[in-house]
Amino acid sequence: MVAEPCEGFELLDSGDGEKLERYGDYVLRRPDPQALWQKNLPEKEWSKASASFRRDGAKGDWIIKPELPERWAVKVAGLYFWIHPSTFKHTGLFPEQSPNWDWTRAIIKKAKKPVSVLNLFGYTGGASLAAAEAGAEVCHVDGSKVAIRWGRENAEKSGLADKPIRWILDDARKFIQREIKRGRKYDGIILDPPAFGHGPNKELWKIEDDLLPLLKMCHEVMTPDPLFFLINGYASGYSAIAYENNLRALFKEGNFERGELTIRESKSGRLLPCGIFARWSK
């Protein structure tokens, strides 16, 4: 699955464990262990970046030039995102997810009925905004106050502040358990679990221990006639086939897809692998 260059984002080059990206009017330079090949552009082009992320052992920070604002907004897949380079080298946007957003939009619009969507580990809200824009009622859950606030600001910037999005600060497993007790049901679920992490109250998440029980609980909160289920993976070491196998255990029939999330370099056409996905639709 390929994310193409667009107005708000462009992968200019990659290689030697780094990537060079344009976010709107500004170019950033970041590490990427997947870029296990040679760069195409000379170092003088890379050195023009407005900010570069460097690592010193386990720590990392940005070297920022004066022209770079604290944050700025870019437009990707019809949505606006505030870009803010963080201490974890993230920027607040995962553009490789834009094909998934389009897929979700298409399913919601085709349903021609009220649709409820649950987005777990929702981060800064790209999938939530795409679903809400398409007409769904969305429940966005994340364990980070910063991510929740960021998502709300992205919604406001995208003109979606009045859409029915519930922004929930909670541990994904605890939230699902309460939804089961409340009898709440969802037509679509989007799941983006990290390999390792913590909830808002330091709840430990380890994907090798917690993913399968969470998938089972997610299936319990789906409507009798659900529309879709999407799961993404980053840095977990698992294959997309493993994720698809889990979806096939939950849904006996329908459309199953799986593969790699990639971004196309604008000049060379080379693909940068970014993660994996598996998805099911009715």
| CATH number of 64's domain | 2.60.40.1180
pLDDT of 243 strictly over 90: yes
Give the span between the Cα atoms of 133 and 79, in whole angstroms: 9
Q: Are residues 75 and 181 in the same domain?
A: no
Strand order of the β-sheet with 165-169 is 2-3, 255-264, 271-281, 228-233, 188-191, 116-120, 137-142, 165-169
Q: Which residue has the tokens 């929702």?
A: 122
Q: How many domains does the chain have?
A: 2
Within a domain: residue 196? yes
Q: Are residues 78 and 128 in the same domain?
A: no
Give the span between the Cα atoms of 171 and 213, in whole angstroms: 14
- Across the range 10-15, mean pLDDT stands at 98
pLDDT of 235 strictly over 80: no
The confidence score (pLDDT) of residue 196 equals 87
Q: Are residues 147 and 259 in the same domain?
A: yes
Q: Are residues 20 and 133 in the same domain?
A: no
pLDDT of 87 strictly over 90: no
Within a domain: residue 89? no
DSSP-derived 3-state class of residue 28: strand
Mean of per-residue pLDDT scores for the chain: 96
DSSP-derived 3-state class of residue 202: coil
The confidence score (pLDDT) of residue 171 equals 96
- Summarize pLDDT for 118-151 with one digit per residue, the tens: 999 999 999 999 999 999 999 999 999 999 999 9
Domain hosting residue 113, numbered range: 97-281
- Summarize pLDDT for 103-114 with one digit per residue, the tens: 999 999 999 999
Within a domain: residue 116? yes
Q: Are residues 214 and 262 in the same domain?
A: yes
Neighbours of 192 (CB within 10 A): 23
- Summarize pLDDT for 71-80 with one digit per residue, the tens: 999 999 999 9
- Across the range 160-173, mean pLDDT stands at 97
Q: Are residues 128 and 193 in the same domain?
A: yes
- Quick one: pLDDT band at residue 84, thresholds 50, 70, 90? very high
- Quick one: pLDDT band at residue 117, thresholds 50, 70, 90? very high
Q: Which two tokens stand for residue 68?
A: 């770079």
pLDDT of 202 strictly over 90: no
Within a domain: residue 19? yes
Give the span between the Cα atoms of 247 and 219, in whole angstroms: 10
The confidence score (pLDDT) of residue 237 equals 84
Q: Are residues 148 and 20 in the same domain?
A: no
Q: Are residues 193 and 273 in the same domain?
A: yes
Q: Are residues 75 and 111 in the same domain?
A: no
Degrees, nearest 5: CA angle 60-260-14:
45
| Residue 95: DSSP 8-state | G
For residue 274, the domain's CATH number is 3.40.50.150
Q: Which of 83, 109, 136 is the last residue of a domain?
A: 83
Phi first, then psi: what are they for 226, rounded to 5°?
Answer: -70, 165
Within a domain: residue 88? no
Within a domain: residue 92? no
The confidence score (pLDDT) of residue 28 equals 98
- Across the range 156-169, mean pLDDT stands at 98
- Summarize pLDDT for 27-71 with one digit per residue, the tens: 999 999 999 999 999 999 999 999 999 987 777 899 999 999 999
Q: Are residues 78 and 101 in the same domain?
A: no
Within a domain: residue 6? yes
